[in-house]
Amino acid sequence: MKIAFIGFGEAARAFRASLAESDPSLRFSTYDILFDSEGMEGKTAETARAASVAPQADPADAIKGADWIVSAVTASSSLAAAEEVVDAIQPGQTFVDINSVSPGRKQATAALLAAKGAAYADMAVMAPVHPRGHKTPVLLAGALAPAFIETVDRLGFSYEIVGDEIGAATAIKMVRSQFVKGLEAITVEALLAASASGCLDYVMKSLSASYPGLDLPKLAPYHFERTLKHGVRRAAEMRESAATVRELGLHGALGEAVADIQQMMGDLPMEDVDAEDFAGSLQRIVELRRKS
């Protein structure tokens, strides 16, 4: 079996590592847009080769002969990634779309590929991909062929089928993200404001008393670390979450606001929060945010 990754970022690398452990006979190839700017001797291509994944300068070459085409790109590029391979895709291939995008985007992608006779799987990854890789819990939706499910079982995916309609899996993730990423944004903005106004200790004690189940002293540093390290990617996901809400005829403003906060944090030249000096870390972030 051959698996082609469109995009060789964190998710694809994690999936490849665990899939190779589950089935050492698997073959892998990839195309990443960074090949265009870095060249085929650049960092991303070298990372692929080091992982026994064949990098290809042309996406059509990457998917040639692949049983599965796993799309793992940035949210804003998901439809463009499908457009890059649609002319080369062959009947019998399965396009596994793990991108964090709205149901409407996945439906548009599936429609694009349907004319070529390719199968389409809406897959939503529901937790960080490390350390479990492809065994991270996922949701699946769409007209999933029995052979596809047999392969998913054989490879050891941790999955739940949530519907026959494309978009049913990603809808769950996108709506859930309103809460998960929204809680991160609320934590970040409230505690930065508390730090800037000199009342951090009081606010932390008050919130901890009101919501003891959150374990805020532990949760808050984690939320800050996640937004600093992954805010740019999470911002793109939240824009798709906002689009999901709008597609439902509801108001997407909350998702857009959360995306803005995630983006601001992800753009800062700081990645780590010192849990032992959380107050000092917040002061540093306040200074950086004021300059941005």
pLDDT value for 13: 98
Fold of 170-291: N-(1-d-carboxylethyl)-l-norvaline Dehydrogenase; domain 2 (1.10.1040)
Where do we find the tokens 């959360």? Answer: 258
Residue among 241, 286, 29, 10 at smallest CA distance from 136: 10
Tokens of 246: 């709008």
Q: How far apart, in whole angstroms, are the C-alpha atoms of residue 82 and residue 50?
A: 26
pLDDT value for 25: 98
pLDDT value for 101: 96
Burial of residue 38 (number of CB atoms within 10 Å: 0-12, 13-18, 19+): middle
Q: How far apart, in whole angstroms, are the C-alpha atoms of residue 98 and residue 291?
A: 36
The answer to whether the CB of 252 falls within 8 A of the CB of 242 is: yes
CATH 1.10.1040.10 intervals, the chain: 170-291
Q: How far apart, in whole angstroms, are the C-alpha atoms of residue 69 and residue 267?
A: 31
CATH 3.40.50.720 intervals, the chain: 2-166
CATH of domain 2-166: 3.40.50.720
What tens-digit pLDDT sequence spans the chain (292 residues)? Answer: 999 999 999 999 999 999 999 999 999 999 999 999 999 999 999 999 999 999 999 999 999 999 999 999 999 999 999 999 999 999 999 999 999 999 999 999 999 999 899 999 999 999 999 999 999 999 999 999 999 999 999 999 999 999 999 999 999 999 999 999 999 999 999 999 999 999 999 999 999 999 999 999 999 999 999 999 999 999 999 999 999 999 999 999 999 999 999 999 999 999 899 999 999 999 999 999 999 8
